[in-house]
Structure 1
């Protein structure tokens, strides 16, 4: 055996980060690494371990848990709840104050639990490294922990093992599963003495990478990078440096919270001197200011939003999507661009034979014999080979594995140089050679052709199949007279061409309908894949994507950020082929720079940085890696693109429902504030129509369940016909404020104020008349304030039904379609009745029993409030068509897609035919 390099190399005295070129000739690489074919000595390995460190991925120290939890207590809405609790406790309502404190704690713990995912992606990366590996040290095979590998170690690579570090093959051939790094399921072959002409290191025929797996073959490899310096380590570093930003809803809730806080505090501060000028005493003016503050603080808003999002999470889980962060539900709803991978998401992740030319029966016979995969129930091996064996079985030409192996005289495995494999089989006492491989490798070895085909015609068929995005194989055979050939060179010559096989990983049947749905919703879909561009473009065409451009990875590398921004800002959809982790990250950044809300799918280790950078990372639950699942915020349990469309609809529904209960809560601020304005502006001549405790009873009692029920409202008709919501559009819009304050609030305030005065005037009250505890009108005054309380509650019922739709009529969604709302309204009525008629509660909240005629006055209130809003929405429907767009990004149906190439691939293809350089070769 020829030994390259000395068995006992001199110590490596270079710095730990000294770079070597792993693609240089083997002798030069071994010299630069100061190692040899027999590996390092144990002493040198120990010294290098001290120098380079362990072969581990470092964990960045995250935020201490107590700091992360503490942040949840100072969120703007949490601060408002603290103020509300302090006011409740200061007013003597200990039960309500304590209840608010419990809400604060529960919300903080829930948010902390949902978002404590800081280091999980990097921890998951470490699980891709094996626990123990075999290396050559001191010329002997020894097992060592993978974490103690060093640069210069010689690895022994065997079938079924995971690669523990980045290494260069120096002997042997290995079939490698690179899906963890590239996202593509096709196996690749790495051979030590192959010529390395690849454009990027991931495609090098001689390099192995940490985290990938050897599924066939064996060999020796010299380690050139460990730990953070490996490809896996580089991706870990990218993941660590990508920080999650606020979701659109988190940003909007924060803005709303500060707006509410400013209005509440500003109103209280501004009207305090107004009360003094109106003649109120300092104590009365202070009471008035506190009342305004409490009336403007929606104490139930934060828990209502949290519970609505939690309900959305539960709903999505039942439809195949697991959400790791509550706000991700809404982020999906505001998505404007989906960046999806191809394999397993748009496709079935199972190769199938789509087309066969020539004699199908003979072709089936050849692929059944020329194979090494297990065709049984638990099929194992190359996915392409499994597909060929299934094709043979479907044509009743399957050969049992035991018989196939028994009758096999010789096997010449596929390798990257020959681009084919062959077997010599004993068929009825006659030796026959069966060959399959890349057409450009097999066809030149064919000397005989079918009667109805010529070599030029077959090559034209190859171009046609490749142009449709199929993986193309050629199959051939010959009879071996005399002694059976034992080597590939003698076996694979003077062949008879039999046929061509076109394979494709077919689209999932439900994806086209999902694509139509997201197109109707005005959402673009870009395909980002590590696969061949024409293959991906064909899949895109089959599922209905209007991907009229194919951009290869080299071109993206050469683009400036400004050029990439401009490319992605142009109309239409794009297929990005042969991508790297950095490319996916750049694409996500460019889309966000253009103001898009990006949903990025992925399943491999290489996808983790982009999943973290996107507004919402979508990982595959079945075929994906732990790394991708940890980095993502949404996990598809069925690995299906259609589930993303379901999630977008659910996200839009959740956001609409957040607006609905914000509208519902805001509308009650006006009838709660107006009584205090009347009290202040009259200088106390009009007594307070509502007490602070009654306001708290409304905000935390009667309105809570209907608000939660609005969070479970079914989707409004036409939800997926709208264009995506602009990123800058907030929860609160002018239309919402118009409905809440100018319409629903004003109508409710007029009705409530009228009820208050009717009760007072009926008792003989006049402005300025005393209503204190010892006054004759005190009971009537308590009934009047109770009437105000009851009026607000009944107006809430009308507001709840008005808030169910933003545009459509109540009839179109059904009066009883939200049964939870009906139950919430019933609870509201029972709760209000308890406060009005139960003596213990009367003493706490200052209420008095209402007489039947007073209750009768409040009965029309809900209908009046709802009818006013229904008339406004009807007026809007008549004036303008429903806002939205249909078919904003419908596919163009172009069969010939322009391919944007780098300089190395600038030569144009002939019209209607693929560029020969784009033919799909078996791997």
Structure 2
């Protein structure tokens, strides 16, 4: 580990010179040997590959089989309708996922395009891709680090590493530091990592890792190796497809058995068997679910969420663990002064006024290199926080410097941990301000300013100051001290007068606390994962209600000592993970998933990308998020607001609920078709439905109300329920009984309508109504067509009424607000008009082999078709009686 070695030892190991670097010849040789300093790109899918991937589904395979058999039986119309549905489904899925995985491309774009290096004793600028191990890289403010470096020289060097480590402030670097043991990335202060940036100072470093061997390269490897897992809904639908496939095969076999026993025509029975198999499979289901998810994407946009992958909509609704990065997600990613101390008193910054202590206020605002002029924020986050403190009092650095210009300064140095500026006012009074680490500055103070009077500092004063600083530290505040020196323009940092302290932190988002509480009420655990220090992380976690005690917090160094299995055993007792690396984040996600939890991971930095990929659903920040994080995520929050995740979870739950209603509606309808046809054929009757009738109902009459169910507004109490079991079947909680019950009811109505016509003819002829008599009547083509028209119409319209009740099968129709789902009213109207069209428009009656019906017949059939609504009220009333017992 290079951070455990001295500079001279690293240079010796890599056979390089700190003063002269490598020769051009040696660099060329190493470049040929190790390859360029670039990230290996993952080959992206072509549009054709994305389209074909949409077809890899059990239900799709069954539909292809049904289309092929239809063509063999010369039922071309049926085959065309089926293939149109398959094509529609594939196109919708491809459009939603056409934004190919851009994570590695974004990582590549983060790479520095050029680097300043020492080659043969001269400083030259070369493409970053030509860097090799042993190169000496020159660093200055604003430069992107082009590779992983062991720093060899540092002068006030600060590097912004938040995208890699999650730490909210730039890191002070020191080339002299040598680590004694294993140290996390965030604490390797003698290292500089590829794709981070120099925010202050200058330095030099020797290249120790390039390309895929860098820390950023390791992240790229983890992203590329991450496997795409099926969502709970995809697993359920795949299982359903397999079951329906088995059902279709059993039906065909049963029909052939019946054909043999009844001595029927085998070809005729094959066509009938295929029709039954088609009836068992809801052809519109895959397309409807895909469209419902696509419509769900639109709904998510309204809550500031962009969905990159359709299944993510449903997955978010099943989440039981929300792993969140701290900086910028749970916090504001903006250092803020919360506490101040002067004149022996600690107070909240909001209580501060400019006239309280002008020396205190002037000192922290003037001893500052940051700027907030012209609506821009330039400089170190700590110094910006001090300027923000000034803005609370309507005081700016530019305004004060107009009255007290800077005449001398001593820049901040990481070794001294102090900064000094000297100012002269219009009366030629000179004031020197020094700010920095309290323990360092206090040792240089011989006096203290109390209520405008300068007196000798005593042990009691020091104890009071230390106590005040300790109280701030307990709240995980970063403490800065201020000292002054009057009438001395030398910028001396000795014999100072102590003035006061400020305590600052990157504070929690105000709305995040309520969201954590809402998640807790919904049975969802919020987990904080951060690269920041333990004390800071735990303080924020306690304030947000994520953690209660230190025992719920663990650090990256502790994780280094654990295996995956050991972490799996204790992970459910942990709430805060501090000072962690990208590898740790993936490890944590895997640990929670090992307990069957559906895990969401939120983040914005490059370091979050592997865990975003590893989680069941990755959620990236849209404003502060890096392109890498967005590329690896399933969803992006456009407002970077943690509370938006809560709204998205509620939407996800509602969408899953709607999909479940849609699936149960379609399956109960199809089950009714199967039972009605199977019963009629087993009884020796003609088929009550033709295959084109079944396809029409499955694709049109069913699909329209199915889509309307898919956009039903979510229940107001949807976040009161615990997360559903990811292994939960679509038929759980009475879904199977519901499907079977409604299927039998629809079958009874369809069969009743089918035999109604032959019964009428038997009655009119004065003949007794018997099964044999009905069989004979149905041998007449005209009577059969009339009977099938009755069955076809009753089946289609009854399912439209059934859909209305499906909006909420636990609530009376009279207590539903039907106007809140206008799509259902429209679907019902359009469905009814289409059903009328296929029996009344001459061209369509020929295609569908139906007969025109009289107004009386329509009235009677609609009355029969309304029975599902009556059934709905009876079932709801029965459930209410049971609940009240």
Written as runs of structure 1 = structure 2, the 5 A alignment for 1:174-185 is 174-185=157-168
CA contact (8 A) 1:276 1:285 kept: no
Any unmatched runs of 5+ in structure 2? 344-355, 452-459, 764-769
Q: Residues 772 and 778 of structure 1 are in contact (CA less than 8 Å); yes or no, is this contact kept in structure 2?
A: no
Match 1:843 to one of 842, 846, 852: 846
* Partner Cα distance (2:528, 2:141) in 1: 33
Contact 1:716–1:808 under 8 Å retained in 2: no
Contact kept, 8 Å, 1:341 with 1:529, in 2: the verdict is yes
Among 328, 332, 350, which residue is 1:344 paired with?
328
Distance 1:90 1:822, change over 3 A: farther
**Secondary structure at the residue paired with 1:860?**
helix
Work out the CA distance in 2 between the residues paired with 1:868 and 1:133: 76
CA shift in 2, pair 1:411/1:189, >3 Å: farther
Take 2:410 and 2:526, find their aligned partners in 1: how far apart are those partners?
43
1:169 maps to what in 2? 151
Q: Are 2:366 and 1:369 equivalent residues in the alignment?
A: yes
Shift of 1:655: 0.8
Aligned to 2:176: 193
Note the C-alpha offset of 1:356: 1.0
Native 8 Å contact 2:166 2:326 kept in 1:
no
Q: Distance in 2 between the 1:110 and 1:522 partners?
A: 34
Which residue is 1:454 aligned to?
461
Tell me, what secondary structure is at the counterpart of 1:569? helix
Counterparts in 2 of 1:763 and 1:139: CA distance versus 1, 3 Å: same
Q: Give deviations 1:523-567, integer Å, cap 9, x for gaps.
A: 000111111223223323333334542222212222332332122
Partners in 2 of 1:408 and 1:873 — Cα distance? Answer: 80
Please, which of 241, 244, 247 is the counterpart of residue 257 of structure 1?
241
Deviations 1:773-817 (A, max 9, x none): 997x54333222111111112211221012111434444441222
2:719 corresponds in structure 1 to: 720
Q: Distance in 2 between matches of 1:441 and 1:285?
A: 95
CA distance in 1, matches of 2:276, 2:561: 60
Decide which structure has greater helix share: 2
For the residues of structure 2 that align with 1:110 and 1:694, how far apart are their CA atoms? 26
Displacement of 1:589: 0.5
Matches within 5 A, 1:593-672: 593-672=594-673
Structure 2 distance, partners of 1:177, 1:861, is 72
The alpha carbon displacement at 1:864 in A equals 2.2
Secondary structure of the corresponding residue to residue 449 of structure 1: strand
Deviation at 1:210, TM superposition (A): 0.4
Alignment partners' CA distance in 1, 2:444 and 2:883: 70
Q: Take 1:446 and 1:879, find their aligned partners in 2: how far apart are those partners?
A: 79
Q: Which runs of 5+ in 1 are unaligned?
A: 1-19, 883-923
Contact 2:809 2:872 in 1 (8 A): no
2:9 aligned residue: 28
Cα offset, 1:374, TM superposition: 1.3
Distance in 1 (CA, whole Å) between partners of 2:12 and 2:843 is 91
Cα distance, 1:540–1:465 mapped onto 2, change above 3 Å: same
CA–CA distance in structure 2, aligned partners of residues 806 and 48 of structure 1: 71
CA contact (8 A) 2:4 2:180 kept: no
User: How big is the shift at 1:642?
Assistant: 1.0
Q: CA deviation at 1:39?
A: 1.4
Change (3 A) 1:48 1:163: same
The offset of 1:302, in angstroms, is 0.5
Quote how far apart the aligned CAs of 1:819 are. Answer: 0.5
Aligned pair partner of 2:258 in 274, 280, 284: 274
* Displacement of 1:304: 0.2
Q: Which residue of 1 aligns with 2:787?
A: 784
Provide the residue aligned with 1:504 in structure 2. Answer: 505
The answer to whether structure 1 residue 111 and structure 2 residue 93 are counterparts is yes
SS class of match (1:559): coil
Q: How far apart, in 2, do the equivalents of 1:220 and 1:469 lie?
A: 33
SS in 2 for 1:687: coil
CA distance in 1, matches of 2:850, 2:305: 48
* Alpha-carbon separation, structure 1, partners of 2:718 and 2:71: 43
1:515 maps onto 2:516 in alignment: yes
* Aligned counterpart, 2:350: none
Q: Which has the higher mean CA deviation after the structures are superposed, 32-41 or 596-605?
A: 32-41
Distance in 2, matches of 1:778 and 1:80, equals: 32
- 1:808/1:516 Cα in 2 relative to 1: closer, same or farther (>3 Å)? farther
Deviation at residue 868 of structure 1 after TM alignment:
1.6
Number of the residue aligned with 1:226? 210
Summarize the alignment of residues 528-607 of structure 1 with structure 2, pairs less than 5 Å apart. 528-548=529-549, 549-570=552-573, 574-607=575-608
Q: 2:804 aligned with 1:821, yes or no?
A: no
Cα distance between partner residues in 1 of 2:814 and 2:363: 66
Following TM superposition, by how much is the alpha carbon of 1:178 offset from its aligned partner in structure 2, in angstroms? 0.6
Q: The residue matched to 1:246 in structure 2 has which SS?
A: coil
Name the SS of the counterpart of 1:335 in structure 2. Answer: coil
> 1:118 Cα deviation (Å)?
6.6
Judge which range, 148-157 or 322-331, deviates more. 148-157
Three-state SS of the structure 1 residue aligned to 2:711 is coil
| C-alpha distance after superposition, 1:829-869 (max 9, x if no partner) | 11110111112111121211123332222223354212323
- Identify the residue that residue 485 of structure 1 maps to in structure 2: 490
Distance of aligned partners of 1:396 and 1:116 in 2 relative to their CA distance in 1, 3 Å threshold: closer
Counterparts of 2:683 and 2:300, CA distance in 1 = 53
Is the contact between residue 702 and residue 800 of structure 2 (CA under 8 Å) also seen in structure 1?
no
How far did 1:201 drift? 4.3
Q: Which residue pairs with 1:145 in the alignment?
A: 127
State which of 58, 68, 79 in structure 2 corresponds to 1:86: 68
Q: CA, structure 1 residues 306+535, in 2 after alignment: closer, same or farther (shift >3 Å)?
A: same
- CA deviation string 1:257-290 (max 9, x = no partner): 1111111222222232123213322233223312
Query: Offset at 1:339?
Result: 0.3
Counterparts of 2:331 and 2:210, CA distance in 1: 35
1:315 Cα deviation (Å)?
A: 1.2
Q: Secondary structure at the match of 2:484?
A: strand
Q: Is the 8 A contact 1:275 1:680 kept in 2?
A: no
Cα distance in 2 between the residues matched to 1:194 and 1:613 = 35
Q: Which residue of 2 is the match for residue 159 of structure 1?
A: 141
Q: 1:863 to 1:518 in 2, by over 3 A?
A: farther
Rounded Cα–Cα distance in structure 2 between residues aligned with 1:881 and 1:403: 76
Which string of whole-angstrom CA distances, capped at 9 and with x for unpartnered residues, describes residues 413-452 of structure 1? Answer: 3333322322233344233321222222222322223559
SS at match of 1:830: helix
Count of residue pairs the alignment pairs up: 851
Q: Distance in 1 between matches of 2:498 and 2:815?
A: 66
d(CA) in 2 for partners of 1:707 and 1:257?
18
Comparing 205-214 with 80-89, which one deviates more in the overlay?
Answer: 80-89
Distance 1:518 1:38 in 2: 58
C-alpha separation between the residues in 2 aligned to 1:429 and 1:750?
102
Change (3 A) 1:418 1:772: farther
User: Are the structure 2 counterparts of residues 541 and 267 from structure 1 closer, same or farther at C-alpha, using a change threshold of 3 Å?
Assistant: same
Most deviating of 820-829 and 77-86: 77-86
Q: Distance in 2 between matches of 1:220 and 1:279?
A: 93
1:327 CA displacement? 0.1
Measure the CA separation in 2 of the matches of 1:64 and 1:177: 37
Distance 1:732 1:603, change over 3 A: same
Distance 1:554 1:440 in 2: 27
Displacement after TM superposition at 1:245 (Å): 1.1
Contact 1:288 1:676 in 2 (8 A): no
**TM-score, normalised on structure 1?**
0.88
Q: TM (normalized to structure 2)?
A: 0.91
